[in-house]
Structure 1
Amino acid sequence: MAGFRADDMSDRAREIFRRVVETYLEKGQPVGSKALASEQAINLSPASIRSVLAELESAGLLAAPHTSAGRMPTISGLRLFVDGMMQVAEPNAQERAAIEQRVAGSGPIEEALANTSAVLSDLSGAAGMVLVPTREARLSQMSFVPLGDRRVLAVLVADDGQIENRIMNLPVDVPYSALEQAGNFITARLSGTSLAEAARSISNEISSGRSALDDASRDLVARGLAVWSKDASQRRVLIVRGQANLLDESALDDLDRVKRLIDDLENKQSVAELLESARDAESTRIFIGSENRLFAHSGSSVIAAPYRDGEGKVVGVLGVIGPTRLNYARLVPMVDFTARSLGKIIS
């Protein structure tokens, strides 16, 4: 029910609702009135409990998957619980030590990111994800190789030695001399700058008429820098570990949903876009089931948090993905702690 809050419930309705949600998240099964009546904290008869459950179901917070079964929280119910009733449990000393040890292990940053994804998976029992920091490459060398049929191979060598290629389609054939002049110009004049800086510099120089390049070479330089700048801004790299955790014992009852979730994870670009939307969060963001169109069919949830570099700038996002019955109270602070731990080693 839109706008429904925990404060709108009576004390007994709030307690019963909380017990249903917590038991469901723990066991993954609908909760019945008899099980609730057996708990000493709820001093009500099964009939009275059934009445309250019916009220919560009418409010759209609980649902009964089968006529004779107990109740389980709806997506709206989970959202209400997470936002207004959940009491988080901070990672214990052993969990904190495991996270810090795995994240801060020696090796390149790529290894730390992979380890971060793995430790999130290990501790959560779900799949761990890390969106790799976007890094503007610094130019070391750029050249253009003719391929024929108005096509040119743009070869970029970054200052860290990485080499990447892109095929460019040109409106007209360009002589080899123009290709050579364009490559030499970029290498000599723009080496050590980022792609964005290079694009701005050459644009200013060409527009002011200060460039000594001929028309064909100017066009090549502009096109070459444009294709690389666009590629760098749109490319997202997502590290996922622990997909096998999604095939737990409870998954046997809902293999279709799990298959859809794994298919979602295969589409890393869409998952990366979802994580990207958490970049502006102060700490963690929680995406529950069909609240996000990506998981409308798989019924999955994501807990995500941004991580920052030494200057406090958000450089990436990490999190866990699993069924909607994730242990949110435990995983929310764990994801947040992991993000802060990773940020300590990002320069």
Structure 2
Amino acid sequence: MTSPPLTDLSDRARDIFRLVVEGYLSSGTPMGSKALAGEGGVNLSPASIRSVLAELEQMGLLAAPHTSAGRIPTESGLRLFVDAMMQVAEPTREEREAIEQRIGEPGPIERALEQTSALLSDLSGAAGMVMVPSREPRLAQVQLTRLSPGRVLAVLVGEDGLIENRVIELASTALDASLEQVCNYLSARVAGRTLAEASRLIESEISGGKSALDAASRNLVERGLAIWSEDAAQRPVLIVRGQANLLDDAALTDIDRVRSLLDDLESKQSVAELLNNAREAEAMRIFIGSENRLFALSGSSVIASPYRDREGNVVGVLGVIGPTRLNYARVVPMVDFTARSLGKRIG
């Protein structure tokens, strides 16, 4: 989707176009010539305004819904406004403090990610999304405890202090192996490594006959690694909060679009792939309507920004999704500030 350059618009066309877009984003309703000529509008007659509106419609920047004599911006028009005309409204001091306080609350990083997604939803009035960091934590040690015949509890302790519990189901005969021996073996090899790195090392030792484990212990190690790796791969990579915000009064007039959007959000893997576009670009991305195939039918917009650790490495992406009439001028800087705040929390 391409938009004509801003220089193709006369000064009065530019002023009227800006008022139409800002009025539509604020109210969600088409803007007519009488409203544009009202208080705070342009100093032109309604007839002159209608002539400019028709010109902007011919350029593909505005459209006239069949239910109204007013105009609304097209996707091309919104793109031109966002790229060339929008004046962002930076978050206030109170808003910045609220964002930093909520993200900085003590607790595991998973809770901070959920808080961030809910926070973005609250700030934008749309749905908030956070893609979890793709980097794997480095482990410090592994602890194994027998729960019952055939079941072992594995506790994985990360270098950052996070603790994860996994249950391994085994034939009871396998538990005749010394849990202490297996625990010592695993801890020696996972220390300072990610699970993937430790798995490769252990698999190489076992297949090469370099491990001192007996058959039962090898069974426990291999089974444990397989379960942990499978579990990690199946975890949701995306946290979405605030879908109910999409069901406002305006949405109820276009329920098919909203149903399509909610269906899209259920496909978290597809949404995660979309957010990866922002991750790979390493910069803020704004997708408007059909600019992205995933949300072409629902006509939705996505504002996404990568967030970084203290070394400047991109570790995830966050953003909001909602109707194309999002308040871009307010939401864009909010998303940017939230991304920077979350990056500080990630460390």
**TM-score over 0.5 for the pair:** yes
Name the counterpart of 2:142.
Answer: 140
2:278 partner SS: coil
Does the 8 A contact of 1:29 with 1:72 survive in 2?
yes
Name the counterpart of 2:148.
Answer: none
Q: Could you tell me how far apart the structure 1 residues matched to 2:188 and 2:40 are?
A: 77
Does the 8 A contact of 1:236 with 1:272 survive in 2?
no
The alpha-carbon distance between structure 1 residues 229 and 90, as it changes in their structure 2 partners (threshold 3 A), is: same
Does the 8 A contact of 1:129 with 1:319 survive in 2?
yes
Asked if residue 102 in structure 1 is aligned to residue 90 in structure 2, the reply is no
Question: Alignment RMSD, CA only?
Answer: 3.6
Name the counterpart of 1:162.
Answer: 164
Name the counterpart of 1:313.
Answer: 313
Does the 8 A contact of 1:103 with 1:115 survive in 2?
yes
The alpha-carbon distance between structure 1 residues 225 and 117, as it changes in their structure 2 partners (threshold 3 A), is: same
Listed as ranges, the matches of 1:93-132 within 5 Å are: 93-132=93-132
Does the 8 A contact of 2:127 with 2:320 survive in 1?
yes
Unaligned runs of 5+ in 1: 144-152, 169-173
1:15 partner SS: helix
CA-to-aligned-CA distance 1:250-297 (integer Å, 9 cap, x gap): 222222222222222222222222223212344421111121111111
Does the 8 A contact of 2:307 with 2:315 survive in 1?
yes
TM-fit CA distance, 1:338 = 0.9
CA-to-aligned-CA distance 1:112-156 (integer Å, 9 cap, x gap): 22222222222221122222223346362689xxxxxxxxx9986
1:336 partner SS: helix
Q: Could you tell me how far apart the structure 2 residues matched to 1:83 and 1:343 are?
A: 26
TM-score of the superposition, structure 2-length normalised?
0.81
Name the counterpart of 1:304.
Answer: 304
The alpha-carbon distance between structure 1 residues 16 and 219, as it changes in their structure 2 partners (threshold 3 A), is: farther
Does the 8 A contact of 1:156 with 1:163 survive in 2?
yes
Listed as ranges, the matches of 1:1-347 within 5 Å are: 2=2, 4-66=4-66, 68-134=68-134, 135-136=136-137, 138=139, 140=142, 157-159=155-157, 160-164=162-166, 184=182, 187=186, 190-192=189-191, 193-202=193-202, 205=205, 232=232, 235-347=235-347
TM-fit CA distance, 1:166 = 8.4
The alpha-carbon distance between structure 1 residues 167 and 278, as it changes in their structure 2 partners (threshold 3 A), is: farther
Q: Could you tell me how far apart the structure 1 residues matched to 2:117 and 2:75 are?
A: 26
The alpha-carbon distance between structure 1 residues 265 and 3, as it changes in their structure 2 partners (threshold 3 A), is: closer
1:51 partner SS: helix
TM-score of the superposition, structure 1-length normalised?
0.81
Name the counterpart of 1:149.
Answer: none
Q: Could you tell me how far apart the structure 2 residues matched to 1:276 and 1:165 are?
A: 32
> Which is further off, 204-213 or 236-245?
204-213
The percentage of aligned residue pairs carrying the same residue is: 66
Q: Could you tell me how far apart the structure 2 residues matched to 1:187 and 1:304 are?
A: 39
Which residue type is aligned with residue 322 of structure 2?
G
Does the 8 A contact of 1:137 with 1:158 survive in 2?
no
Number of aligned residue pairs: give it. Answer: 337
1:254 partner SS: helix
2:345 partner SS: coil
Does the 8 A contact of 2:127 with 2:241 survive in 1?
yes
